[in-house]
Structures are given as structure tokens and as C-alpha cells.
Structure 1
Amino acid sequence: MTPRAISHDEDTYPSPEQFNPERWTKDDKLDTDMRDTTAIFGFGRRICPGRFVANSMMFLTIVTILAAFDIGKSDGEDEPKVEYTSAIQ
């Protein structure tokens, strides 16, 4: 079974095509009972050799963003108009 098929299994992940970060939480906390959270990296002999590098890079990216920017909830006033793209620029 391919990682794509596993990550799009509707029995495990309801509405797999929809972006839904809440699927990983339960009662506003990380759901530690969620199965197959690392299934995207594969299994057994064919598991991704770069999985640890990918996890480390995600950690470093998030930590760098949190350290460099003041992130907070908007008060709703004078919000700039933002245009989103599907690529990193």
C-alpha cells in the first residue's frame, strides 16, 4: 500500500482532500491516540531515509519563524490585504 493511499483513507482521515488541522486534535489538545501520523514516510524496508531530516527541518523552520516574528491574533482593525499564492517565494 502506498503512503498516498494510506493518507487518503477516509476511514482513518475523514474528508482527506480537505485541509483540516483539527483532525490531529482532541479537546483542543494534540491527539496522542491518532494512528499512522508518520505513515507518509512509508514502512519497513522502503521507509524514507530522509524522514529525520524532514522532521528536523520542519522543527527548525517553525522555531525560526516563531523567533523572528511577533505572531499574535489580529484585532481586526487595519488589516492589510494579502494575496496568497501556491508557491514559496
Structure 2
Amino acid sequence: MIRIQRVAKVLVMEIMIFSGYGMFITEENGKYYINFDEGGISIKDIRYEISEQEAIKARQSGLDAYEVMLRSQSRARKCNL
């Protein structure tokens, strides 16, 4: 899936790299993002920036994907995102 947005007269292209294990990974302008539902009773779609190494790791198995999700949540909470 490719999504193109026009932001301040600059085209931003988001490319889906991987989908599986309850999450999907996208790349946008050389940055990687992990996207997943963080909600409990209600749906809360979340998007966190991750490193290229984490993007590779999250594709290996469900356990690796879960670990990357937890790490990205922890980093975001420390930064109050």
C-alpha cells in the first residue's frame, strides 16, 4: 500500500513494508514506523517511529514484533508522546 499526501507543497510518500503479527510497518521519507492497535475495549491506532534494525526484527516473528511494540511504547512514554 502506498499513501501519498501533500504537505506544505512537499509530497510525502508512505510505503507499507510489512503487515503481520497484529501490526504493520511503514516507511516514510527514510524513517520507519510501527503501527498497531494499542486500545483495550476501544480501538486506538498508534504509530511509533522505530529504527531500521527494529523494522527488520519485527518481521521475524510474533514475539520479536511484540518486543519492538513494547520498546516503542516505552520510548514514547519516556518522551511523553
Q: How high is the TM-score relative to the length of structure 2?
A: 0.26
Relative to total residues, which structure has the larger helix share, 1 or 2?
1
Relative to total residues, which structure has the larger strand share, 1 or 2?
2
Which protein has greater RCO, CA pairs closer than 8 Å, 6+ apart? 1
Which structure has the greater CA radius of gyration?
A: 1
Q: How high is the TM-score relative to the length of structure 1?
A: 0.24
